[in-house]
Amino acid sequence: MEGGSDKNDWIGPPNQNGETLPVTILPNGTCGNGWMCEHRWRQIFNMVKFRNVVDGTNATNWWDNTENQIAFSRGNKGFTGLPAGQYCDVISGNKEGSSCTGKTITVNADGSVNLNIANTEEDPMVAIHADYQEELQWSICLNGDGKTLLWNVKDILDQAFGGVQVSPPNENAVVTTNPFRPWYERYQPVSYKLETRSGNEAQFADMVRRCNAVGVRIYVDTVINHMTGNSVYGTGTVALNLMPVVTAFQVFLTLSPISMIKYLSYRIWWSRGLSRYVALRDLNHGKTHVREKIAEYMNKLISFGVAGFRVDLAKHMWPEDLSNIFSRLNNLPTEHGFNPGTRPFIVQEITDAADNEPIKGYEYFDNGRITEFRFSIFIGEIFRKANVINCTLSRILGWGLYQDDRVLVFVDNHDNQRGHGASGQYILTFRLAKLYKMAQAFTLSWPNGQARVMSSYYWDQRFEDGVDQNDWVGPPNVDGVTSGVVIYPNQTCGGGWVCEHRWRQIVNMVSFRNVVAGTGVANWWDNNEHQIAFSRGDKGFIAINNEDSPLQATLQTGLAPGQYCDVISGMKYENSCSGKTITVNADGTVNLNISNDEEDPMIAIHHEQKL
């Protein structure tokens, strides 16, 4: 400062030789590396929420001491004028579950509050409002039911996810008895109206629009194989009355001689001919009217900016019928940021896992990608050490999986984590966290297919004869209303939500996968049992120890010499690591000593984490 003027007011953003430095996000959610990020300061961020909650109300109950102490309420929504009870002060903390991380403010029976705010406090103020929890609607970029968990836009942007798969957005049967509001009710369509417990059509369209605006693509889980079952009574999520027999649509199965000749035995019995899928009413995809109605529904979603679809139970539909339906789909709209002529991304659910499976995934390749359930099974066998399967390169290459550009791969999904579908006894889930994180790290570092990360909620299992009797349990809820996600200071979740996508080890490996994209596997090493390591070109390196003894070896990384932050144990913050620091020697090798007793017996480094 000179003469009251800042002589450095010209200085540009943090940079190195003119190249702007990235924003570093610190564990408490604020920024480093020279960035201030006032929008991330708890006090400011929470007051933005306050403003949204009290929107539309007037200032009332003004008080001041005629000097510099003031107070007022915003109608009956913000301090005070509120109903009697306890509230979390949003200046000093947040509401997590049923408790406050900061001050708890008591509103008396008459609506008043007894204040004692010291002038020496860091923030000498309080603010409370009627509804601290975020709206559980489409507006935060993902719903929380069965297939997917509630993520927000910030998660996707900060963590480099390419997009989000959302649960079916169309009207479904409301199942309230035997059992109550199970997750699978979302897979019992009643109509193609866009309204579920996650939100309505306007909210869905708004969510997609805003997600696209910040580069987050939305992929819809699409149920077009069937409608709800003949035995379902009551109402749908749009309050449409359900009758025991639906006759309004001429869409149900009719056998044709061609179908019977072409696909005898299994295909006819299981997929189209002699049986419905668990008593759900099949659609006859051979009829033009049915094809048109399905395409009309999908095109409506495309018009909102949806980027693609996961097609539920695709295995139960003829590939030719699906091809006809997909040919009716419009290109993705340029007004939502897609390049001209871009086609919707299609993933078809095909459980082609057994050698004797008569329906093969390759039959559907012309329509789009397929779900590669064999990867899920094999990765579980490897990391569980099933049948003493050694984790060697020849073993992995011998899995016989479909080619990379044809498949979607995953460690688990909503079905096989419950023992359904193409599962087997070796599927890994969040319940075996140590093995699960190793399996996810391998999946996200291995160049096979398009990878998808599961994000779950917790439920208590109850096994009888090896079957979980609680496999129906839906997301955390109160009387059927889905509960909000609680975000802890370490960015993991509570309130019954698991949020694997927020686990440091997994989200950092998503970034690893993006960094090493386009490179091949090199410098493979294994101990012929369950210790492995490999590099991805000259961009990344990973080593995993799934043995009962330390991994002690000097291995080639393919990376430039220097110090790197291990993304399994932490991240790079400015010029230091919050976790392990890994040194790459002058010849590109690294001296490893990974104890089998560590919480996460593995390390992963890439060139963007170089100090």
Per DSSP, the three-state class of 42 is helix
* Confidence band of 278 (pLDDT split at 50, 70, 90): low
94 belongs to a structural domain = yes
CA distance 376 to 387: 16
73 belongs to a structural domain = yes
Residues of the chain by 3-state class (helix, strand, coil), percent to 5: 25, 25, 50
- What residues pair up with 534 in beta bridges, in sequence order? 542
Positions of E strands within 236-348: 241-242, 280-282, 308-311, 345-348
The total of other beta-carbon atoms located within 10 Å of residue 1's CB is 7
51 belongs to a structural domain = yes
432 belongs to a structural domain = no
Find the domain containing 95 and state its range: 42-107
* Confidence band of 239 (pLDDT split at 50, 70, 90): low
**349 part of the active site:** yes
- Quote the pLDDT of residue 494: 86
Q: Which of 89, 185, 221, 312 is catalytic?
A: 312
Per DSSP, the three-state class of 82 is coil
The total of other beta-carbon atoms located within 10 Å of residue 113's CB is 18
Tell me what the mean pLDDT of segment 8-31 comes to.
85
Structural domains in the chain (count): 2
Q: What is the CATH number of the domain that holds 50?
A: 2.60.40.1180
- The one-letter amino acid code at 372 reads E
Burial of residue 465, with CB atoms counted within 10 A of its CB: 0-12 exposed, 13-18 middle, 19 or more buried: exposed
Residue at a domain's end among 55, 73, 107: 107
The radius of gyration computed from the CA coordinates of the chain, to the nearest angstrom, equals 27
Chain position carrying tokens 């204040």: 115
Does pTM top 0.85 for this prediction?
no
Q: Given the DSSP bridges, would you call strands 308-311 and 217-222 parallel, antiparallel or unpaired?
A: parallel
Residue at a domain's end among 66, 84, 107: 107
Burial of residue 285, with CB atoms counted within 10 A of its CB: 0-12 exposed, 13-18 middle, 19 or more buried: buried
Tokens of 502: 């927020």
* Confidence band of 275 (pLDDT split at 50, 70, 90): very low
- Quote the pLDDT of residue 484: 77
Stronger pLDDT, 488 or 477, i.e. the higher one: 477
Q: Which of 349, 372, 415, 566 is catalytic?
A: 349
Tokens of 391: 């984790």
Chain position carrying tokens 């007051």: 47
CA distance 473 to 181: 8
Report pLDDT digits (tens) over 284-318. Answer: 899 999 999 999 999 999 999 999 999 999 999 99
Residue at a domain's end among 50, 76, 107: 107
555 belongs to a structural domain = yes
CA distance 361 to 372: 8
- Quote the pLDDT of residue 258: 32
**9 part of the active site:** no
- Quote the pLDDT of residue 269: 39
Chain position carrying tokens 């329509």: 367
CA distance 197 to 171: 9
Give the 3-state secondary structure of 465-523.
CCEECCCCCCCCEECCEECCCEECCCCCEECCECCHHHCHHHHHHHHHHHHHCCCCEEE
> Which residues are CB-contacts of 377 (< 8 A; sequence separation ≥ 6)?
353, 422, 423, 424, 426, 427
CA distance 529 to 392: 7
Tokens of 353: 């896992």
Report pLDDT digits (tens) over 535-583. Answer: 999 999 999 999 999 999 999 999 999 999 999 999 998 889 999 999 9
427 belongs to a structural domain = no
Dihedral pair phi/psi, residue 540, rounded to 5°: -155, 160
The proportion of the chain whose per-residue pLDDT surpasses 70, expressed as a percent, equals 86
